[in-house]
Structure 1
């Protein structure tokens, strides 16, 4: 991106979930600022439901506060329709927002490999997928490979001497970020930082100060006698304080178990034809899910019953989430999902973030939304619906969360 005459602003973009924000995220943010020599930062963040098909532990406003508290200047939301999809669609939605903001110079993401050249080479060659690649991908999926494994194997068939394992979560997300940049013909410069000390899916604490979000959530949900102090070494004090506040207000921790009765009702009340209309639902799955539901007392039990070699855990979680939110193929088409996000939603900003917003309002190629008076676009209607359903998982009584999308202004933080 060419800087205007006299424009000394240099902005790095980050794609995040912060579920919750921990010390590893702080490291990535600080290293990204150094590597890119950025003066400003933008984080595009998933809302209340996440890419792996699960609810966030606390709502997007609380996680926006966490982001601003560590120095991020502007937080934008990935629309629900993109935030809860496979890596390719998730990445396209997130990167599109950065691209259409027209104020981001670089994108810095974490990866297990820490190698950019191999990922770039693969992205450039696969940007216009050949029919052979598509056929190979379909074949490996039909053999029961997980999507990351199938994608990586199909990629190896296309590229000689390919050395980056795409069955590692950060590698595959990074690859799809590069793929999205290539397809958008974006001037944003990609950079990567190697993930260290704790793997994405690592469930235990193995380092005195760095742990994965998975390990932290595991400690919160599954350890007996849990106290917030037990995760204190692994999260910034601000994150800890925000979590404690949300706990006290009855707005967390939120998990799939908080929606299981609602999900059960929906699965029982819909026939197989209705369930088949859910986006990405395959033939035979509605029958399997409804059958196993009858012997599953909780969400984890249901997942264990329906998971197979062909149907990976994350893929099924996304299907059940889309069922909970009633995201049908027809709704996706109404939202023109293939085009990309229809707007840029602002969740929060710092004083420096206001400078970015002023720049975005002059340059952005999508409408910028700071407050919702009425959700007119079907994609925005899904965002509102998602937040309303998410609030049903709160422990607090009452329905205050149902109007939060309309009443909550962007979070402002001075730093």
Structure 2
């Protein structure tokens, strides 16, 4: 087996994702593919459009062999923490040969060179960084200048100052650099690859061709509530499964649905809000001051937004408050070098082969059903990570099942088994 790992959200799985998957398998010559996928809440501080099992089954229908859940404590955070959780999960399997991610840069040599300098921090680089900071430069500019000086002096790659700055400031490049940095820190045998993103940019809100950003798809569903408008930009498997969910009254989820819950938590916990992760620099006061007079989550975002508090910062902060994610727990898990368990969301026959390989090569616990995971709940790391996975699903499902209350049996992670899709031909 030659096993490829991909790190995804698939919110939802669209034609760009299918292009990435196919190109990644071609580039790495992979025979099997594992996706580490965020669960019900995502990196930008938002709920997923549809539940994790639905999104995982769509992924397998489109050619992924095994989908594993990225623990919630990593899935909802900044690039560094998100990447650490995902890469550590893949590395813990001890059978992954490669990862491949999309990037604006498209050259693994460029990204690898930059990442290695940032991890190794050669003395010459550190001296220049201090010099630029002492001259009054902001840290991002000082880092970029120090990198350029070091790369140029040692003739490592051919890159201009402007291109280097662009590499360091582009969303997918930032994630890619963090993936490589984590691989280096873990001394991992997993080989990184990248492919260029095609046509649509990460944050583009327009549907103009057969490939667009997930942001554009989410905006279309939110503004028009019409699945047919995205039929040309998602594979038929995605469209058919989402159409079935909507016909069964499971509607797309957006962060606005949790506004009332967030208001209640802020009103109750104002004296202890600073225990939650990302609640710093006095943002708790801005949240508290504005939450009573805001009529929507968007209004609250805009009332807090400033040069100090970016929209992304605000959304992640409010999501951490919603899910009760504390500074203490993030501090506990952010530097681990192996995960204690993996949760299987969906798989096919080749996915079964990967699971058999994992059992042979890794000591990680494979969790298919939560009812059988109780034997490890006395392990603090295991319990900390799993408790947040269960909690986030419970909070998500309070809204997700509102049109199907009779189907909400309780903590649904205990009732739903991994989705097995037999004889996938992709």
Instruction: Tell me the TM-score normalized by structure 1.
Output: 0.90
Q: Is the 8 A contact 2:278 2:316 kept in 1?
A: no
Residues 11-50 of structure 1: pairs in structure 2 closer than 5 A: 11-50=3-42
* CA pair 74-133 structure 1, distance change in 2 beyond 3 A: farther
- Quote the residue 1:127 is aligned against: 119
Matched residue SS, 2:49: coil
The whole-number CA distance in structure 1 between the counterparts of 2:127 and 2:265 is 34
Matched residue SS, 1:45: strand
Instruction: Please report how far the alpha carbon of residue 136 of structure 1 lies from its aligned counterpart in structure 2 after TM superposition.
Output: 6.8
1:403 aligns with 2:411: yes
The whole-number CA distance in structure 2 between the counterparts of 1:268 and 1:166 is 39
* CA pair 129-380 structure 1, distance change in 2 beyond 3 A: farther
Instruction: Please report how far the alpha carbon of residue 151 of structure 1 lies from its aligned counterpart in structure 2 after TM superposition.
Output: 4.6
Q: Is the 8 A contact 1:54 1:317 kept in 2?
A: yes
The whole-number CA distance in structure 2 between the counterparts of 1:129 and 1:325 is 35
Residues 6-405 of structure 1: pairs in structure 2 closer than 5 A: 9-128=1-120, 151=140, 154-160=143-149, 161=152, 163-164=163-164, 165-207=167-209, 209-223=210-224, 226-271=225-270, 273-333=271-331, 335-340=332-337, 341-373=339-371, 376=377, 377-394=383-400, 395-398=402-405, 400=408, 402-405=410-413
Instruction: Please report how far the alpha carbon of residue 411 of structure 1 lies from its aligned counterpart in structure 2 after TM superposition.
Output: 0.8
* Residue-by-residue CA offset, 1:35-76 (whole Å, 9 max, x unaligned): 111111111000000011111000100000110001110111
The whole-number CA distance in structure 1 between the counterparts of 2:308 and 2:252 is 31
Note the residue ranges of structure 1 that are not aligned, 5 or more in a row: 1-8
Matched residue SS, 1:33: helix
The whole-number CA distance in structure 2 between the counterparts of 1:151 and 1:14 is 28
The whole-number CA distance in structure 1 between the counterparts of 2:408 and 2:137 is 44
Instruction: Please report how far the alpha carbon of residue 101 of structure 1 lies from its aligned counterpart in structure 2 after TM superposition.
Output: 0.6
The whole-number CA distance in structure 2 between the counterparts of 1:176 and 1:243 is 32
The whole-number CA distance in structure 2 between the counterparts of 1:134 and 1:91 is 28
* CA pair 127-408 structure 1, distance change in 2 beyond 3 A: same
The whole-number CA distance in structure 2 between the counterparts of 1:337 and 1:117 is 27
Q: Is the 8 A contact 1:202 1:212 kept in 2?
A: yes
Q: Is the 8 A contact 1:122 1:159 kept in 2?
A: no
Instruction: Please report how far the alpha carbon of residue 391 of structure 1 lies from its aligned counterpart in structure 2 after TM superposition.
Output: 0.6
The whole-number CA distance in structure 2 between the counterparts of 1:157 and 1:299 is 40
Matched residue SS, 2:18: helix
* Residue-by-residue CA offset, 1:80-108 (whole Å, 9 max, x unaligned): 00011110110011011111111110100
Q: Is the 8 A contact 1:42 1:72 kept in 2?
A: yes
Matched residue SS, 1:176: helix
* CA pair 298-75 structure 1, distance change in 2 beyond 3 A: same
Q: Is the 8 A contact 1:347 1:411 kept in 2?
A: yes
Q: Is the 8 A contact 2:103 2:172 kept in 1?
A: yes
The whole-number CA distance in structure 2 between the counterparts of 1:329 and 1:27 is 38
Instruction: Please report how far the alpha carbon of residue 144 of structure 1 lies from its aligned counterpart in structure 2 after TM superposition.
Output: 12
Q: Is the 8 A contact 1:388 1:401 kept in 2?
A: no
* CA pair 309-41 structure 1, distance change in 2 beyond 3 A: same
Q: Over aligned residue pairs, what C-alpha RMSD do you find?
A: 2.4
- Quote the residue 1:4 is aligned against: none
Matched residue SS, 2:370: coil
Q: Is the 8 A contact 1:371 1:409 kept in 2?
A: yes
The whole-number CA distance in structure 1 between the counterparts of 2:196 and 2:409 is 38
Note the residue ranges of structure 2 that are not aligned, 5 or more in a row: 153-158, 378-382
The whole-number CA distance in structure 2 between the counterparts of 1:409 and 1:136 is 51
Q: Is the 8 A contact 1:133 1:154 kept in 2?
A: no
Q: Is the 8 A contact 2:200 2:211 kept in 1?
A: yes
